[in-house]
Amino acid sequence: MASLLLAVIYVAFISLGLPDALLGAAWPTMSQDLGAPVSWAGGISMTISAATICSALLSDRLTLRFGTGRITAASVAITAAALLGFSVAPNYWVLVLLAVPYGLGAGGVDAALNNYVAIHYESRHMSWLHCMWGVGALIGPYVMGHALAGGQGWPWGYRYIGFLQIGLTAILILSLPLWKSRKAAAAPAPSGPGPDPDSDSGPDAGAQGAQSAELRKPLGLKGVLAIRGAREILIMFLCYCAIEQTAMLWGSSYMVLGQGIDKTTAARWASLFCIGITVGRGLSGFITMKLSDPAMIRLGQVLIAFGAVTMLIPLPNHIGVLAGLMIVGFGCAPIYPCVIHSTPGYFGEENSQAIIGVQMAFAYVGSMLMPPLFGLIAQYMSIGLFPFYLFAFLLLMVVMHETLRRKRA
């Protein structure tokens, strides 16, 4: 039963990534069909992010009341409805309105599933699950491209993904008894950093954790911020997402405007970063069998630093830029899943859902605000500051991680 539930969660993570790159892939066509300026895609994206932040902050309260399985199924159903709504939207403003349930569904499933896996499964599964998210994020644009190339238009691209989400909703509803069975016979959280996460690893530890979770009240944002070390791990998460999303959004522009690479080559190689993350998370799953979560985070930070420096080395045929971008992707690969997986070890299972929910909120704040901030820097100063911008957030992330280690050791 546990293996079957894990398979369901793997499928859920693929589904979680499916819609993430749809808007970017479809917007050049959508903007023409809807008569909207190209820049207006930012309005939809920011609305999705804002709604995701709200649902992530509410995830602790909702999960305590309804349980992870129900929240996941309901969130995917809401996302499916929003995607199907996108496919019939008559104008831009309807898309903005539909972006609200779109973001609410994404934030709910993201926070609930990440906490559940962090508590009940080994670190390698967290890395592989986020690798599956990358697979979904790569499949989504392919589905949209298939719909556009076949003359069906962008609405059918959204419909195809919406139908897949409906199918997943049905699977999740049918799997609800598995979540209950897992809760009743829950295994303890696997090894991680902090005082001694294995100290309560007896056969009844998971059940006791589940009972305490049911009895406690939601912490809320103020309660999370009052926990020693919580602010550091939240800032870490914001920094990580600032690096990831800035690299994804501005990597191609840096190649063209900062390094003189032609647009065609830059577009072709822009996926190097995402490939680095996806492949890196697949490999990280195996490495976590030997290294702890803090060691994996430090390894990722070293790789990001090395990649940022490599981008500045003037090698023939711009190999330094291309290799550096992929190395930054490899460095990002273990950080996100290992920070989440280490959270119960640092703060206890009874606090992890609340903290991970706020982590998701901080993640989307970083994703929403920091890439546009670099856009202003590129416009008014120089896009050549791209590697230094990544390095600045990396430095802050390293300081926060080491401070967290000292506070929670």
186 secondary structure, DSSP code: P
Q: Report d(CA 264, CA 307) in Å as an integer.
A: 23
Long-range contacts of 376-380 (CB under 8 A, 24+ apart): 378/250, 378/253, 378/257
> How far does CA 140 lie from the centroid of its chain?
15
Cα distances (Å, whole numbers) of residue 163 to 159, 167, 344: 6, 6, 35
In CATH, what is the architecture of 2-185?
Answer: Up-down Bundle (1.20)
In the chain, list all ranges with CATH 1.20.1250.20.
Answer: 2-185, 220-408
The two tokens of residue 106 are: 């994404």
Q: Report d(CA 171, CA 181) in Å as an integer.
A: 16
Q: Which residues contact 381 (CB under 8 A, 6 or more apart)?
A: none
Q: Please provide the CATH number assigned to the domain covering 220-408.
A: 1.20.1250.20
Q: Report d(CA 193, CA 277) in Å as an integer.
A: 23
Q: Report d(CA 8, CA 77) in Å as an integer.
A: 15
Q: What is the pLDDT along the chain (409 residues), one digit of tens a residue?
A: 557 888 888 888 887 788 877 776 677 788 888 888 866 777 887 888 888 888 888 777 777 777 778 888 888 889 899 999 999 988 999 999 999 998 888 777 777 777 788 877 788 888 888 888 778 877 887 788 888 888 888 899 899 999 988 988 898 888 888 776 555 555 444 444 444 333 333 333 344 444 444 555 667 778 888 899 999 999 999 999 999 888 887 887 888 888 888 776 776 676 778 788 888 988 998 999 899 999 999 999 999 999 999 999 988 888 888 899 999 999 999 999 999 889 988 888 878 878 888 888 888 888 888 888 888 888 889 889 999 999 999 999 999 999 999 988 6
270 secondary structure, DSSP code: T
Find the DSSP H helices in 175-229.
Answer: 176-184, 205-215, 220-225
Q: Report d(CA 405, CA 409) in Å as an integer.
A: 6
